[in-house]
Amino acid sequence: MKRFTLITIVWLMPLITVVAQSGLSIAPYFDGRYNKSKDVVSLNLKGSTLHPYHLMLYRSLTFKKSTPDIEHAILNDAKLAIDKETAHRDGRLLYGFYCLPPTSDKAPLRYIFYRRTANQTILAYLEGTATLDALKHMFK
């Protein structure tokens, strides 16, 4: 029994690192599937580097050519939003900024940013304490 308990603990610990976006429809797009793709830029930042931006986690995917159908996933997650700003063109989402509630009392806020231009489509997932408005103006 002691052995079982110990090994269970050891097995469960790595899972802590992958719960960041669990439960969100966009989560699968950040599982590393585009790491080796041409015409895709995948950025992953966490830790002290992001403290000046009041962020704890930053992940983004920039698709420069073919874009997977991520709009439905975003719209699904958008149902959880407590703050958002969106625009549509020709019936499709042009951009969307969403603030999602924390997963627990002590957890940070979650943000989803989506932007579609003529040349590229960007999906970003962030975690931190800044407001959506603050984030929007922080990088201008």
Partner 1 sequence: MNNKNTHLSRKEAEELLNRYYDGLTSAEEETRLRQFLASEEADGGMFDADRAVMGMLLTRRQQQHAAGLPYFKIAGWAAAASIVIAIGLWPQPHQPECIAFIDGKQYTDQTLILEKMRSTMNTITSIDNAVGMETQMKTIFNPQE
73 binds partner 1 (CB under 8 A): no
**From the centroid of its chain, how far is CA 130?**
15
CB of 26 to partner 1, least distance (A): 14
135 binds partner 1 (CB under 8 A): yes
Between residues 107 and 138, which has the closer beta carbon with respect to partner 1? Answer: 138
Is residue 64 within 8 Å of residue 40, measured between CB atoms? yes
106 binds partner 1 (CB under 8 A): no
Is residue 123 within 8 Å of residue 113, measured between CB atoms? yes
Between residues 24 and 130, which has the closer beta carbon with respect to partner 1? Answer: 130
One of 31, 51, 76, 137 touching partner 1 (CB under 8 A): 137
Q: Name residues whose C-beta falls within 8 Å of residue 37's C-beta, 6 or more positions apart in sequence.
A: none
The whole-angstrom separation of Cα 18 and Cα 22 is: 7
Cβ neighbours, 10 Å, residue 122 = 17
Q: Write out the residues near partner 1 by the rule CB under 8 A.
A: 1-3, 6-7, 9-11, 13-14, 17, 32, 34-49, 58, 60, 62, 81-89, 94-95, 97, 99, 109, 113-115, 117, 120, 122, 124, 131-132, 135-140
